[in-house]
Structure 1
Amino acid sequence: MRHRIPVAALLVLAVVSATADAAPGAAAQREIDGLMQALEDSGCRFQRNGTWYPASDARSHLQRKYDYLLKRDLADTAEQFIERAASRSSISGKPYRVSCPGHAEQDSAPWFQQQLVRLRGH
């Protein structure tokens, strides 16, 4: 015996599925884009697994990581982006580092958190 699912029920399931896989809100997306732009515009170098990269290469790398997280609905906020994409290597677990002209080298997580505070105007 075959069961038929009403069209209305299928539409509800489609909406629920789309909502479950929803991207970050517009404000979070602006903040994440702003963080990546801040890195690219910073003139800083970015260390990943012991190798230093220019900010533009770092942005490309973080964009790939962010895209991966988006597909899995794992980066709904700027804080999640920092924690899950911009703080450490997914492969080695080593923290990323940022070196900016005139400033001490530091782990990337606090650097991105400072940038987020600036973006939010605090």
Structure 2
Amino acid sequence: MSHRLRFSAGIVLAAFASVGSAAPSATAQREITGLMQALETSGCRFQRNGSWHESAEARSHLQRKYDYLLKRNLTDTAEQFIDRAASRSSISGKPYRVACPGAAEQDAATWFQQQLQRLRRAGA
């Protein structure tokens, strides 16, 4: 094998190795689980693709999306979970919305970021 070919093969392998991310840390797993539990116990409704869903159903949907991302090593932080699973529909691209009792309706990304900050403050 020529030097040039070995060098090129090494670059390709390095590129593939950097595409996948590591498995989420224990902290990230706790935060992501905490985010889904916060939604499920919130009493909030969750909108996706124009339809409102109760919080338990929404959690189930987000768990399926998270499991999909995990199998493909596409999320290893709570922020990536929010961005890649909990913010918008992967089919339509429309943002998810959250409506909680006594609060203004908001984008799910904002709601989950607020929940993540609460979780981190509580754990500090």
TM-score where L is the length of structure 1:
0.82
1:66 paired residue number: 66
Could you say what the CA RMSD is over the residues aligned between the two structures, in angstroms?
Answer: 1.5
Aligned residues: 104
User: What is the CA-CA distance between 1:23 and the residue it aligns to?
Assistant: 2.0
In 2, Cα distance between equivalents of 1:75 and 1:84: 8
1:49 paired residue number: 49
In 2, Cα distance between equivalents of 1:121 and 1:41: 19
SS of residue paired to 2:73: coil
In 2, Cα distance between equivalents of 1:117 and 1:79: 11
1:115 paired residue number: 115
Identity %: 78
2:34 paired residue number: 34
Structure 2 unmatched runs, 5+ = 1-16
In 2, Cα distance between equivalents of 1:45 and 1:21: 32
Task: Assess, with a 3 A threshold, how the Cα gap between structure 1 residues 21 and 83 changes in structure 2: closer, same or farther.
Answer: closer
Q: Which has the higher helix share?
A: 2
Structure 1 unmatched runs, 5+ = 1-16
2:98 paired residue number: 98
AA of the residue aligned to 1:82: I
User: What is the CA-CA distance between 1:56 and the residue it aligns to?
Assistant: 0.2
TM-score where L is the length of structure 2:
0.81
1:87 paired residue number: 87
SS of residue paired to 2:93: coil
User: What is the CA-CA distance between 1:22 and the residue it aligns to?
Assistant: 4.3
SS of residue paired to 1:121: helix
In 2, Cα distance between equivalents of 1:23 and 1:80: 12
